[in-house]
Structure 1
Amino acid sequence: MATTTIDGIATRYEVLGSGPPLLMYSPGGFDATLEKWRTQGIYAEIQFLEQLPNHFTCITFDRRETGQSGGRVERVTWSDYVRQGKGLLQHLGFDRAFLMGGCMGCSVAAAFAVEHPETVLGNVLFWPVGGARYRMAGHQRFAEHLAFVHQNGLEAVVTLAGESNKPFGADPRSGPWVSVLRHDKDFAARYVRQNVDHYKVLVAGMVRTLLDRDTAPGAEPEDLLRLDIPTLIIPGADASHATSAARYFQECIPGSEYWDVPVSGQTSTATNARVIEFLRKVAGTA
């Protein structure tokens, strides 16, 4: 593992394999560490990092505010997540790269393609988050954090963060900066000195920015409709990864390929083969 500073924020990353660069936005919601590609749910079953590095230079990293990466108390937007990935590519000396997003990482990958189309060779969106239940659950988490802050103050958040290893999704009271609070004492000291009323307004704005629709968030449909980037979409089918969110990306991204295979058919062998086939085909025409 290595660490670099991007936009003033420490970023922990790992580079595996050789070949064309593939920047991978981790799954895991608001706990998107690079380990999630190996350990979380279906990703542990499919084992992308056992296959993709044989063909590509795979770049994984802890998204800001997760794992051992740093953070900053601000109204975090999809563009902030994009900036981290773009900065990491620049740090590694890559002008262009393939992108792959898992779960919430799909929304960042889509936003990246909109903001920097000249950088993106092709895009793989695996199990995009979205759907009404995903939005409702996300808003509920932020509401629980705001209620805890309102009742107990910011010092209680820092204390709570030190009492367990649960991420924001598992214990919403701890808030979206909980990982940074655990490993950065200076950050924690600045965190408690904030104006608590300003903080509550910031968090309320953050959830409205990130979870603003009942389909896949991340990029406006009018911007997706103007994309000219080869895109492979692989659908999920549960409360956080509604199939409708994947279909939304298919509808909005011209010429996108939709792998219409149920989750039961998304085996390790079949899924890795489909992703590698797509990326190698695009690489051959880039």
Structure 2
Amino acid sequence: MPHATAPDGVAIAYQVRGGGDPLVLLSGQANSHEWWDDVREDFHGSRTTITLDYRGTGDSGESPSTYSTRRFAEDVITVLDDLGVDRADVYGTSMGGRVAQWVAALHPSRVRGLVLGCTSPGGRHGFERSDEVRRTLAVPDAAKVRLALLDLMYTPEWLATHPGPYRTLGDRGMSPRARRGHLAASNLHDAWDALPDISAPTLVVHGDADSFNPTANAPLLADRIPGARLVLVPGARHAYFEEFRATASPLVLDFLDHAVSEVD
């Protein structure tokens, strides 16, 4: 598996599949590239998909210092540089959407089109999950936490017919330090002041039944980013991109193929 070396010496593993224009897919918190394994082939008819293992996950090294969404964004640029990709579409979901915000705001010349899925601007402006959800995820029983996460990610109807494996529940190989670092990175994310600097055509997508990352964050992002388009997926919870892939993947491709081409 190829690796790119970040400025601080951390090896960042990345994966390239498909063919066509480059599309970077960014995973959720405490997850490796496997987050996208069941979905990425949807894009291979016209896109080369590029994923990476965040530092501390998969085959990447651990961070010698703190973890942050800005640092993850710089790792994305490191991977693009290693591949010789000057400009790419970027699609981030959950914490990956937070990372994608920084990629687009800090490196506008590298982002052709931007899709932000089930994510948040963070900080004092973002809507946090409810105390009830927090309590459910804080119980010491790992089996109960897993069931709670599945319920937050997917509808009961989908779970009844899809026994797994589930790619969105976290990288089991992470060290406790890396897991804490990812949690802190996501919790401390605040791109509110940088969002108006995003110049790439932007699509904001969110499930309208998402309580893990409350749906109210979607219009916040769409209103804050110049010219952004907002689409809510009816009935979808946090993992809309997987359960509702028949809707979400064509939606993303259509946006990238048409809305973005208008400004090229």
| Residue in structure 1 matched with residue 51 of structure 2 by the alignment | 60
Q: Does 1:223 align with 2:217?
A: no
CA, structure 1 residues 170+16, in 2 after alignment: closer, same or farther (shift >3 Å)? closer
Query: Is the contact between residue 73 and residue 177 of structure 1 (CA under 8 Å) also seen in structure 2?
Result: no
Query: Is the contact between residue 18 and residue 41 of structure 2 (CA under 8 Å) also seen in structure 1?
Result: no
Query: Is the contact between residue 13 and residue 60 of structure 1 (CA under 8 Å) also seen in structure 2?
Result: yes
Percentage of identical aligned residues: 29
Secondary structure at the aligned position of 1:243 is classed as: coil
Which whole-Å CA distance do the structure 2 matches of 1:258 and 1:97 have between them?
21
Which whole-Å CA distance do the structure 2 matches of 1:84 and 1:69 have between them?
11
- Structure 2 unaligned residues grouped into runs of 5+: 121-125, 139-167
Task: Count the aligned residue pairs.
Answer: 218
CA, structure 1 residues 105+264, in 2 after alignment: closer, same or farther (shift >3 Å)? closer
Q: Does 1:274 align with 2:246?
A: no
Q: Which has the higher helix share?
A: 1
CA, structure 1 residues 168+101, in 2 after alignment: closer, same or farther (shift >3 Å)? closer
Query: Is the contact between residue 232 and residue 258 of structure 1 (CA under 8 Å) also seen in structure 2?
Result: yes
- Structure 1 unaligned residues grouped into runs of 5+: 39-43, 142-166, 179-202
CA, structure 1 residues 36+168, in 2 after alignment: closer, same or farther (shift >3 Å)? closer
Q: Report the AA paired with residue 111 of structure 1.
A: W
| Residue in structure 2 matched with residue 33 of structure 1 by the alignment | 32
Q: Report the AA paired with residue 187 of structure 2.
A: L
Shift of 1:239: 3.2
Shift of 1:210: 4.2
Which whole-Å CA distance do the structure 2 matches of 1:271 and 1:239 have between them?
18
Pick the structure with greater CA Rg: 1
Shift of 1:177: 2.0
Secondary structure at the aligned position of 2:116 is classed as: strand
Query: Is the contact between residue 24 and residue 89 of structure 2 (CA under 8 Å) also seen in structure 1?
Result: yes
Shift of 1:4: 3.0
CA displacement 1:189-230 (0-9 Å, x = unmatched): xxxxxxxxxxxxxx79x83x6424xxxx441x2321232211
Q: Report the AA paired with residue 270 of structure 1.
A: T
The 5 A counterparts of 1:57-96 are: 57-96=48-87
Q: Does 1:13 align with 2:14?
A: yes
Which whole-Å CA distance do the structure 2 matches of 1:263 and 1:15 have between them?
32
Which whole-Å CA distance do the structure 2 matches of 1:54 and 1:170 have between them?
28
Which whole-Å CA distance do the structure 2 matches of 1:227 and 1:56 have between them?
23
The 5 A counterparts of 1:79-228 are: 79-128=70-119, 131-133=127-129, 137=134, 175-177=176-178, 207=184, 210-212=186-188, 217-219=189-191, 221-228=192-199
CA displacement 1:13-47 (0-9 Å, x = unmatched): 110112111111112x12x2111112xxxxx4xx2
CA displacement 1:33-62 (0-9 Å, x = unmatched): 111112xxxxx4xx2x12102111110111
Which whole-Å CA distance do the structure 1 matches of 2:111 and 2:90 have between them?
7
Shift of 1:68: 1.5
Secondary structure at the aligned position of 1:67 is classed as: coil
Q: Report the AA paired with residue 12 of structure 1.
A: A
Which whole-Å CA distance do the structure 2 matches of 1:269 and 1:169 have between them?
24
Secondary structure at the aligned position of 2:232 is classed as: coil
| Residue in structure 1 matched with residue 226 of structure 2 by the alignment | 254
Query: Is the contact between residue 210 and residue 236 of structure 2 (CA under 8 Å) also seen in structure 1?
Result: no
Query: Is the contact between residue 131 and residue 239 of structure 1 (CA under 8 Å) also seen in structure 2?
Result: no
Which whole-Å CA distance do the structure 2 matches of 1:115 and 1:222 have between them?
12
Q: Report the AA paired with residue 19 of structure 2.
A: S
Q: Report the AA paired with residue 198 of structure 2.
A: L
Please, what TM-score do these two structures have when normalized by structure 2?
0.72
CA, structure 1 residues 263+91, in 2 after alignment: closer, same or farther (shift >3 Å)? farther
Query: Is the contact between residue 88 and residue 112 of structure 2 (CA under 8 Å) also seen in structure 1?
Result: yes
Shift of 1:137: 4.5
Q: Structure 1 segments of 4 or more deviating over 4 A?
A: 134-138, 167-171
Query: Is the contact between residue 110 and residue 218 of structure 1 (CA under 8 Å) also seen in structure 2?
Result: no
